[in-house]
Structure 1
Amino acid sequence: MKSVTEISGVPKEDLSSIPASAHPTAEGPAEVAANIKYHAQYTPHFSPLKFEPEQAFYATADSVRDSLIQRWNETYLHFHRENPKQTYYLSMEYLQGRALTNAIGNLGITDAYAAALNKLGHDLENIVEQEPDAALGNGGLGRLASCFLDSMATLNLPAWGYGLRYRYGLFKQSITEKGQQESAENWLEKFSPWEIVRHDVVYPVRFYGKVEVCASGVHKWVDGEQLQALAYDVPIPGYGTNNTISLRLWEAKAPAEDFNLNEFNDGQYENAAHLHSKAQQICAVLYPGDAKEEGKLLRLKQQFFLCSASLQDIIARFKERRVENEPIAWNEFPSKVAVQMNDTHPTLSIPELMRILMDDECLGWDEAWTVTTRTIAYTNHTVLPEALEKWSVALLTKLLPRHMEIIAEINKRFLEMIHSSHPDMENKFNNMCILDDSNPQKPVVRMANLCVVSSHTVNGVAMLHSNILKDELFRDYVSLWPEKFQNKTNGITPRRWLRFCNPELSAIITKWLKTDQWVTNLDLLRGLRQFSDNSELQSEWASAKMANKIRLAQYIFQVTGVKVNPNSLFDIQIKRIHEYKRQLLNILGAIYRYKRLKEMSAEERKKVVPRTIMIGGKAFATYTQAKRIVKLVNDVGAVVNNDPAIGDLLKVVFIPNYNVSVAEILIPGSELSQHISTAGMEASGTSNMKFALNGCLIIGTLDGANVEIREEIGKDNFFLFGAEAHDVPKLRKEREQGLFVPDPRFEEAKNFVKSRAFGDYDYTPLLDSLEGNSGYGRGDYFLVGYDFPSYMEAQSRVDNAYKDTKKWMKMSILSTAGSGKFSSDRTISEYAKAIWKIQECRVP
């Protein structure tokens, strides 16, 4: 029989000298290799005759987890002893990406692991590729939450994250001739080596039922359906510190006693496990379709499940850390606990905390309200009406009867306060009330209004966005509580988004700055400005960029079969597919570019800058227009990429199944990135920050964080186009009135699609949405037609700038040099000081 070492392809004598011995805190290559081998033999997940890349990954991850567990336990014990005020971040999404590279990078043991795996016959890069992305999020909201956790740990802040343990994520995207196809993203098909199930951390979560009023007047929520929330913890290590905090994920389960053995033995198998099936539904997928009432109920269940389990856990920790046998001083709760709601999804934290305090802990309304409003803060991430969340009163009453009572009482008391203290604002009731009964048949709860009324702080996520919140969306509340509203411009972790994903460029930055302290002090990147004209730096910079472009070209060929020219301009737009993000503007520009190339003479084509346009992102499964955009991109690519007359002058590639790991290849290889949303509609964006940090130039509108990025990197290093936010309402009105005259190039691009140049698919509904003067669609609500000529002129400026290599390299260097502000370390420091009021709690 062959030995493990022989089967793995490594000569037996090379491994026989490496002992299989446990070294939980190993830092040297020999000890690390021994620890990996120990886990391969004594923490086996596979048959003993294999040590191929997949088996090697799980053994490697287990060995890294050893180091994390020690730091993790020490951090928990230190927080317990010190009992600081702690922040709890509640989010429905965490887009973590792969954990292995990040963990060994933050622990400072990457080189040791690379050498150890080499001893064991494997390559670190290949082992990293075996790890599936954790399918716990979808877009910027979830990636921001993950960047924030990294910064919380790195800054040694007492903080945790709470989320749900989705088994299948949003979906795995594949592309066929029919367009986007969705399938389950089964990242837990085997298991995650990073999570630890906490069998001792289980809380009951109730749905449905009724409210009973006791003789004492206390309300009690009883009966209904009761499930259990079981905790799974994922370690989040800080960079260059012992602090390792937790992301606690909840899984829903039914108690064993709810399995009806008699029914099962009687052949009624589905009935026997009815509650178990309901429990599995809660954490099955992220954002289940909500076109039907069943889908709406499930989404609401998910949100409440997160809120209820997390608050019960937070309160249990508060009680655990108090002096033994002392009575609970609830007035001290806000001085020990800060809860941050990441958008409106965790809004039910408000009535749930009120319910626990009043019904379980017997506090009066006023005391419970004071505790709640001093504890909870709210981050708004959108001005889109459909994303602000409105829930049917009937649905809430059915699923959460006690919470609906509490929400109604909050609304009643709020309106009474306005009536008594601000009678001049009674004409604002309709906009400010939490319960909207303008349609008496279908009254709804406005979750954003509930958040604003009940939180001690409300913040936007970019200066422009925060001003829109104050001047428009929440204007009436600002007149009541001007001190409640703040701005916290988003940021990204420089560890994952430069240091680890772009080691070539990172090494150059460290060399020229003569320090690697920029990894935790991103403002130091300003020091690159003095070298931006230096030809030696520009040459090194260009070499690093080319290495990343070649790697990206190889990836594109691997996943799409399209060969792209690394010497072409790499132009990338990767984000959730949505009409306001205007991937449609991008592809119409590409269509016009292709049409012009077809019309050029061979001599004219010689002067053209070759360009590879890449678009990636998921369209929500029920968002028909977004899925049409995905199909159009692919149909255009199928024609353009196979046109021998065009060759390498233009390629259009759709990158399938966009996720964090894909972004870590795309962003370092990018040269131009499109952030082209309709002005005033993107709250912030964080991919724009990642691209700018990696020396990629941006073409974009004055929207979200683009405004601040342009200020920081310099106006000359940003390709600006389009209407500004304050002009958008007027332009939409003119569009509706038929006063808009479309640019001929815009009409040419649309007509080219209508000519069936890209296949026989009927794109009429998509193109009709751009016909603002014809009453179709929404009248080009996102102003694609209005901004098209300005967009095309900006693209011409891009082409001209790219022809001057020295100028382009200088602009690229200045982009990185101006990105210091956009570190999530800066953002989290601002949250900690101005909203959470928490201090560093460093593990010795």
Structure 2
Amino acid sequence: MVMTKEEFKKELRQRLRENYAIEVEGAKPPELFNTLGALLKAKFSEDWRATWKDYLVGKQKQVYYFSIEFLPGKMLKSNLLNMGMLEMVREALAEMDIDLEELAEVERDMALGNGGLGRLASCFMDSLASCGLPGNGNGIRYDYGLFKQRFVDGYQVELPDEWLRSGNIWEIRRDSKAVDVRIGGHVYLKEVRKGRLKPVYENTRTLRAVPYDTGMVGYGNGVVNTLRLWSVEIPSSEEDRYQSIEGRRELEDLTAVLYPDDSNEKGRLTRLIQEYFFVSAGIQSIIRYYKRLNQPMTRLSEYVAIHINDTHPALCVPEMMRILMDEQNLSWKQAWDTTVKVMSYTNHTIMAEALEKWPIDLMKRTIPRMYQIIEEIDARYVASMREIHEHDLVERTRIIKDGQVHMAHLAIIGSYSTNGVAKLHSDLLKSVVLHDFYVIFPDRFNNKTNGIAQRRWSQLSNEPLSNVLNEAIGTSWRKNAADLKLLMNYQGDQQVLKKLAEAKKKNKQALAAYIKENTGIEVSTEAIFDVQIKRLHAYKRQLLNLLHIIKLYLDLKDNPEHPMQSRVFIFGAKAAPSYAYAKTIIKCINETANLINNDPDINGRLKIVFLPNYNVTLAEKIIPAADVSEQISLASKEASGTSNMKLMLNGAITIATLDGANVEIRNAVGDDNIFIFGLTEKEVYQYYENREYSSIRLYEENSVIQRVLNTFIDGTIPNILYEGREIFDSLIKYNDEYFLLRDFDSYVQAQEKINEAYANPKIWQKISLINTANAGRFSSDETVRRYAEDIWNIESKLSYSNKKG
């Protein structure tokens, strides 16, 4: 991939002439971006081809990571960084009077995910390639992203996110790799010879699954893995069926949007078909590849690992069974033994209601062969377990019950590994959420704490901080995040602390300019930038944050000289289109912002900024500028969190409950360098058991809580007549499901400690340094290495090649 500046400039000019018939001087940013992207893709394509060939020739075991979400963000600068060309290209373009940042702005975020699940999957793709590990992604090529969020009169409005409008320079369409996926109709089994049954399909619909491949470029190692995303098309054999515009639109909708609204029958049907579509297409392509190795199907697990990322791809289990039995002629026992050895599963939720379930009738109508196989898996599981375990335990863990197919049960029973994503989460899976399965399969459960791709979240998004780190501790941390620990040697070095503070100030200035340009709100960079960025969900408790802000506002109204550091509270969050309560919280935050931001009595000491359309690119602007990281979910509800890790890496100081990976962050930085508050998970479960929680008692006995809550219904906050009442009732009438009022005083006290610490710059800068220095343990490089060793049994390409040699 080595190029000189002159070679690069020459090739860029030549490609512009060939593709657009223009010179550099006359080219606009979109033309320059597309030309640069095509140039880079051509440069790494040879490594891409060589990587794939090495895996094939060496018959190296590969993992296939099935996820309904991938959220890569923009890839131009990431690819330049990983190819070792970032600085050279930036300088070369500058010599041609071109700003690389301006070209990067042209790129649209690959809007293939909603939040942490999709971002984690993309971090893993980056880390698998960067660690030289043979790993592939498998998902859906959505035509539209989740949605583009706008605020109108304080309300969230969802607009189409047409991220593919100008194409995607990084992908390659592979028609020759297309496969057919069958849905609907009727399926029955017919005996073809003694003891051998074959399915007969009647009146099914065929979908054509076309793969689009994107190269995942490893950091400085020449490895390029593949993210394969599937798009639906009409097969030529089915053209007659789709004569009408409505019929074509119905088919095209199958890969139109992530998470179609499942509050209605049509949305649920679309979502189930989506899940089967990408699972079936992906497993068919894996089997086609495996056949090239000329190995028996019963040895599949020696060469292939399939990872089920949350329950959405749980149909991998019955689909593998279908292919092995119906198409490869394995017996049930052979197919089942092979399938279980291939599959592993990550659980991403504590909350039982978030574990996916499908009505039996819907599954029978939509994917009848899948239901037949699941029914048989369930029957055989029950029969085998009743010989060992008591009746009620087996009944609680079966796959089909209460008129529904339980997808988490299917994934656990059909795989050899089930992991949680933080130590607390994994412990709760074993002791509470999936305890019955832990009793039956104790050896299958393990923990793999999440991680983040620190190249993107430091080297790319925070160059001012990265430059200070280079100067202080050298550059080895760029390859090995554990070397960030070297920064601990400088916690008393005033020069280093000053430079870190200057880097933070520079990032705050950049974010303040962005806020002014996009919202019209002016914020002071001297203020604490207090950040909460994540999905809008009641359990994540953005509402608790708002209650505290209202308290500060009332304090300032009572006493404009109230002793507190100026604060800018920054929110970034989307609410699911059908999640009415989350949308209500957004409306209340926005109306409170209008009240506070325009109140002259406050004198700018308190501001709220809710930045619309939160995505990876916006996160890259917010996170480097954050002073405080809000991780305030009710203890026992957040599986892990990854924004906590990104903010920590960038020197933000965490205010948190002991939930998810916050526990491990606390262990990493020490009690004095994080602000912990609130109930523990044990205390939460005690409330569940004794049912003694009373929010109305807290309201009646605590005058501060009473005053804050009354602002929602007494007209203090304008324009929330209905929304304010809904919030008030949820906390008082319906007994405050996520214990906001119970944690309120503790949260306020933790915030007061933050206020005190920020008033002493030396103390604050030292705590910030300690957070950055200890963030290396949360690198996704380290996480995927643990998956590779403990679960997937795959080896780095380099070490495997050396061993073979």
Q: Which TM-score applies when normalising by structure 1?
A: 0.92
Corresponding residue to 2:124 among 148, 164, 168: 148
Give SS of 1:97's match: coil
Tell me: CA distance 1:271–1:574, structure 2 relative to 1, closer, same or farther (3 Å). same
Rounded to whole Å, the distance in 1 between the matches of 2:21 and 2:555 is 57
Q: Which residue of 1 aligns with 2:58?
A: 82
Seen in structure 2, the aligned counterparts of structure 1 residues 50 and 185 have a Cα distance that, compared at 3 Å, is: farther
Of 108, 116, 122 in structure 1, the residue corresponding to residue 92 of structure 2 is 116
Offset at 1:222? 1.5
Residues 467-496 of structure 1: CA distance to partner in whole angstroms, max 9, x if unpaired? 000001111121222110000000001100
Q: Which residue of 2 aligns with 1:368?
A: 335
Name the amino acid aligned to 1:674. Answer: E
Which residue does 1:33 correspond to in 2? 9
- TM-score, normalization: structure 2? 0.96
- CA deviation after TM superposition for structure 1 residue 256, in Å: 3.2
Query: CA, structure 1 residues 133+150, in 2 after alignment: closer, same or farther (shift >3 Å)?
Result: same
The answer to whether 1:783 aligns with 2:739 is yes
Q: Kindly tell me: are residues 696 and 771 of structure 1, through their superposed partners in 2, closer, same or farther at Cα, counting changes over 3 Å?
A: closer
Q: Is the counterpart of residue 97 in structure 1 residue 73 in structure 2?
A: yes
1:799 alignment partner, SS class: helix
Q: Which residue of 2 aligns with 1:529?
A: 488
Please name the residue that 2:359 is paired with. 392
SS in 2 for 1:620: coil
Structure 1 273/201 Cα, relative in aligned 2: closer, same or farther at 3 Å? farther
SS in 2 for 1:339: strand
For 1:736 and 1:63, the matched residues in 2 are separated by 63
For residues 737 and 687 of structure 1, the distance between their equivalents in structure 2, rounded to whole angstroms, comes to 30
**Cα deviation digits, residues 282-304 of structure 1 (max 9, x gap):** 11000000111111110000000
8 Å contact kept, 1:258–1:273? no
Distance (Å, rounded) in 1 between the aligned partners of 2:278 and 2:259: 13
Equivalent AA in structure 1 for residue 540 of structure 2: K
Partner of 1:635: 591
| Cα distance in 2, alignment partners of residues 473 and 757 from structure 1 | 42
The one of 417, 421, 437 equivalent to 2:388 is: 421
The equivalent of 2:224 in structure 1 is 244
Deviations 1:95-128 (A, max 9, x none): 1000001000111101121122223321011111
The separation in 2 between residues aligned to 1:178 and 1:519, in whole angstroms, is 42
Q: 1:208 to 1:507 in 2, by over 3 A?
A: same
Aligned: 1:574 with 2:533: yes
Is the 2:346–2:419 Cα contact (8 Å) retained in structure 1? yes
Alignment correspondent of 2:234:
254
* Alignment correspondent of 2:150: 174
Q: Residue 175 of structure 2 aligns with which residue?
A: 199
- CA contact under 8 A between 2:151 and 2:157: conserved in structure 1? yes
The aligned runs of 1:16-27 (5 Å cut-off) are 25=1, 27=3
Which whole-Å CA distance do the structure 2 matches of 1:586 and 1:46 have between them?
Answer: 53
Distance 2:81 2:695 in 1: 57
- Quote the residue 1:316 is aligned against: 288
In 2, the alpha carbon distance for the partners of 1:176 and 1:638 equals 13
- What whole-Å deviation, never above 9, does each CA across 1:608-642 have from its counterpart, x for those lacking one? 20000001110001100000111111111111111
CA distance in 1, matches of 2:613, 2:2: 36
Over 3 Å counting, the alpha-carbon distance change for 1:255 and 1:44 in structure 2 is: farther
Question: Matches of 1:102 and 1:175 in 2, distance apart?
Answer: 31
Equivalent residue, structure 1, for 2:467: 507
Say which SS state the counterpart of residue 307 (structure 2) adopts. strand
Identify the residue that residue 353 of structure 1 maps to in structure 2: 320
Q: Aligned AA for 1:735?
A: Y
Change (3 A) 1:45 1:274: farther
Q: Is 1:55 matched up with 2:47? A: no
- 1:300 maps to 272
| Matched ranges for 1:563-712 at <5 A | 563-601=522-560, 604-605=561-562, 607-712=563-668
Structure 1 SS opposite 2:306: strand
- Structure 2 distance, partners of 1:523, 1:446, is 40
C-alpha separation between the residues in 1 aligned to 2:296 and 2:293?
Answer: 12
Q: 1:369 to 1:257 in 2, by over 3 A?
A: closer
TM-aligned CA distance change 1:147 to 1:46, over 3 Å: farther
1:806 corresponds to 2:778: no
Instruction: Give, in whole Å, the separation in 1 of the partners of 2:698 and 2:590.
Output: 30
Over residues 316-370 of structure 1, what are the superposed CA-to-partner deviations in whole Å (9 max), with x where a residue is unaligned? 1111133xxxxx5112100100000100000011110001111111111100000
Aligned to 1:462: 422
**1:568-590 deviation line (CA, Å, top 9, x unaligned):** 00000000000000000011111
Q: Unaligned regions of 5+ residues in structure 1, if any? A: 1-24, 264-269, 323-327, 438-442
Deviation, 1:45, is 10
Q: Is the 8 A contact 1:612 1:653 kept in 2?
A: yes
Distance 1:739 1:183 in 2: 42
CA contact (8 A) 1:253 1:276 kept: no
Give deviations 1:714-739, integer Å, cap 9, x for gaps: 11110110000111133352126976
Distance 1:651 1:726 in 2: 36
Structure 1 residue aligned with 2:18, among 42, 60, 64? 42
- The one-letter amino acid of 1:131's match is E
Offset at 1:90?
Answer: 0.3
- Give the drift of 1:386: 2.8
Aligned length: 792
CA–CA distance in structure 1, aligned partners of residues 725 and 322 of structure 2:
48
Deviation sequence 1:226-261 (CA, Å, 0-9, x none): 01100100111010110010100000001134334x
User: Corresponding residue for 1:745?
Assistant: 704
Q: Which residue in 1 is equivalent to 2:378?
A: 411
1:474 paired residue among 428, 431, 434: 434
* SS of aligned partner of 1:410: helix
Give the C-alpha shift of residue 770 in structure 1: 3.8
Query: Any conservation in 2 of the 1:382–1:683 contact (CA below 8 Å)?
Result: yes
Change (3 A) 1:331 1:503: same
The answer (yes or no) to whether the contact 1:770–1:785 under 8 Å persists in 2 is no
Corresponding residue to 2:443 among 464, 479, 483: 483
Aligned mates of 1:332, 1:724 — CA distance in 2: 46
- Measure the CA separation in 1 of the matches of 2:694 and 2:411: 34
For the Cα contact (< 8 Å) 1:494–1:520, is it kept in 2? no
Counterpart CA distance in 1 for 2:564 and 2:25 is 57
SS state at 2:712 partner: helix
Is it true that 1:164 corresponds to 2:129 in the alignment? no
Amino acid corresponding to residue 507 of structure 2 in structure 1:
N
Distance, in Å, in 2 between the alignment partners of 1:311 and 1:71 is 25
For residues 301 and 785 of structure 1, what CA distance do their matches in structure 2 show?
A: 42
* Separation of aligned partners in 1, 2:392 and 2:229: 44
Q: Given the alignment, which residue of 391, 395, 401 partners 1:436?
A: 401
CA contact (8 A) 1:164 1:249 kept: yes
How far is 1:560 from its partner? Answer: 1.0
- Please give the residue correspondences for 1:542-581 in structure 2 after superposition, counting only pairs within 5 Å: 542-581=501-540
Q: Distance in 1 between matches of 2:248 and 2:5?
A: 46
Select 1:832's aligned residue among 770, 780, 788: 788
SS of the equivalent of 2:300 reads helix
Distance 1:502 1:48 in 2: 29
Classify the secondary structure of the residue corresponding to 1:698: strand
Q: Distance in 1 between matches of 2:591 and 2:650?
A: 30
Q: Secondary structure at the match of 1:321?
A: coil
CA distance in 1, matches of 2:731, 2:488: 46
Report the alpha carbon displacement of residue 215 of structure 1 after superposing the two structures with TM. 2.9
1:221 CA displacement: 4.7
Whether the aligned pair in 1 keeps the contact of 2:417 and 2:791 (CA below 8 Å) is yes
When residues 716 and 195 of structure 1 are mapped into structure 2, their CA distance, relative to the original with a 3 A threshold, is: same
Report the Cα distance in structure 2 between the residues aligned to 1:814 and 1:336, rounded to whole angstroms.
42
Tell me the alpha carbon deviations over residues 772-826 of structure 1, each in whole angstroms, 9 at most, x when there is no partner: 4x3x3xx211111111111111100000000000000000000011112100011
8 Å contact 1:26–1:35 — kept in the other structure?
Answer: no
